[in-house]
Amino acid sequence: MPTNLPVIVVYSSTPKPITSTTIPTPVPTKTPIPAEWVEIKTGTTETINSIWFIDFNTGWAVGTKGTIRHTTNAGATWKAQNKGTNDLWGVCFIDANNGWVAGGNGVIFKTTDGGSSWTLLDSGGTGTIMDIKFINQNDGIFTNGGGIYHTNDGGQTWVKKSDYGGGSIFYRNDGKAWHSSGYKLVGGAWQQIPDFGFDGITFADNQKGYAWRGNFSKTTDGGNTWTILDKIVTDDEIIRNPSVDGVAFVNPSEGRMIGYSDYVTKNGGDTWTKVSDNTYRSSYITYFTLFNDVNHGWTFNSPTIYRLGY
């Protein structure tokens, strides 16, 4: 607190002070600093191929030659949890303990202690697994060059569900799934969606979702059909044929969109407000998630990790 504060003295008709009031020195108003994207290093010289976070502080990164890195302090430090020598391409955790990593020669490793130890699972083949997703301890999907495979026993056994594969999987907690080549999971079978494919996909709620692959698509029927958006409405402009690199939501209303600039929405994506220019970005972001609010999150643009906020 400042000292020697000014004092106002009020006098009566006789020059005798009758009251005094101390006026505090005004505190300068601080302008909020916008959240910024910061590149995060994991401490390895190997190439990072994928990341996964369960909250803002806790995440894993996997890469070449069996590289696994784990952070519990928002990327300030990373602990090595390496397993094997095959390149790892996929990683997924459902909580702080249970997770899976997968990659070259069809390897899948499972952990029940946050990555301190790993158990080798039999994927049934030797093709490189490009992506693996679980929604609980039992139900999971992986994709390789030969197809898409499902498990309902935590990865102990796998059943082939399609002859096409590669790419990436988006697996929603209600059991619905989409493949980046433009397929959706319907009744246990994969069906193609005409004129659709994605680098990333997200949902504001069970019905409204967005997908991007250079262009920007929207669904309002739970992902059954998708429409390419020819414009985005902001506070002060209409952006025609928008180029979008990532979208994520923290609840059905609030989300963030990244591209040549960063935008936030408070109405589920109907309108957007520009919050910053984007100098780090390029055009192939495969992972984008937010935690708590629109100013805290993670994104991955192979092989680089970026953190928003701290």
Number of folded domains that form the chain: 2
Q: Which of 175, 193, 211 is the last residue of a domain?
A: 193
Residue 152: the pLDDT is 97
Q: Does residue 213 lie in a domain region? A: yes
Q: Do 116 and 256 have their domain in common?
A: no
Burial class (CB in 10 A: 0-12, 13-18, 19+), 292: exposed
Whether the CB-CB separation of 290 and 250 falls below 8 Å is answered with yes
DSSP string of 137-159, one letter each residue:
SS-EEEEETTEEEEESSTTSS-E
Q: Do 163 and 310 have their domain in common?
A: no
Q: Do 42 and 176 have their domain in common?
A: yes
What are the distances in angstroms from CA 69 to CA 47, 78, 186? 11, 6, 35
Residue 5: the pLDDT is 42
Quick one: DSSP state of residue 104? G
Q: Do 141 and 246 have their domain in common?
A: no
Residue 70: the pLDDT is 98
Residue 3: the pLDDT is 44
**Residue-wise pLDDT tens for the chain (310 aa)?**
444 444 333 333 444 444 444 545 555 444 445 578 899 999 999 999 999 999 999 999 999 999 999 999 999 999 999 999 999 999 999 999 999 999 999 999 999 999 999 999 999 999 999 999 999 999 999 999 999 999 999 999 999 999 888 899 999 999 999 999 999 998 889 999 888 889 889 999 999 999 988 778 999 999 989 999 888 888 888 888 777 888 999 999 999 998 878 999 999 998 999 998 765 555 578 899 999 999 999 999 889 999 999 8
Edge-first strand order for the sheet with 140-144 is 129-134, 140-144, 147-151, 159-162
Q: Does residue 22 lie in a domain region? A: no
Pair of tokens at residue 75: 């990327």
Q: Do 150 and 231 have their domain in common?
A: no
> Count of CB atoms within 10 A of residue 120's CB?
11
Whether the CB-CB separation of 305 and 42 falls below 8 Å is answered with yes
Residue 42: the pLDDT is 97
Pair of tokens at residue 2: 């400042």
**Residue 303, preceding bond cis, omega within 30 degrees?**
yes
Q: Does residue 29 lie in a domain region? A: no
Q: Do 122 and 162 have their domain in common?
A: yes
Q: Do 41 and 159 have their domain in common?
A: yes
Residue 205: the pLDDT is 92
Whether the CB-CB separation of 284 and 244 falls below 8 Å is answered with no
Quick one: DSSP state of residue 4? S
Pair of tokens at residue 5: 């504060």
Q: Which of 279, 244, 271, 280 is nearest to 259 (CA)?
A: 244
Q: Do 203 and 309 have their domain in common?
A: yes
Q: Provide the residue range defining the domain that includes 110.
A: 35-193
Contacts of 143 (CB under 8 A, 6+ apart): 129, 130, 131, 132, 149, 165, 166, 167, 168, 169, 179
Distance between CA 79 and CA 75 in Å, rounded? 10
Residues forming beta bridges with residue 261, ordered by sequence position: 277
Whether the CB-CB separation of 169 and 178 falls below 8 Å is answered with yes
Burial class (CB in 10 A: 0-12, 13-18, 19+), 268: middle
Residue 241: the pLDDT is 77
Q: Does residue 4 lie in a domain region? A: no
Edge-first strand order for the sheet with 59-63 is 48-53, 59-63, 68-71, 79-80
Q: Do 245 and 143 have their domain in common?
A: no
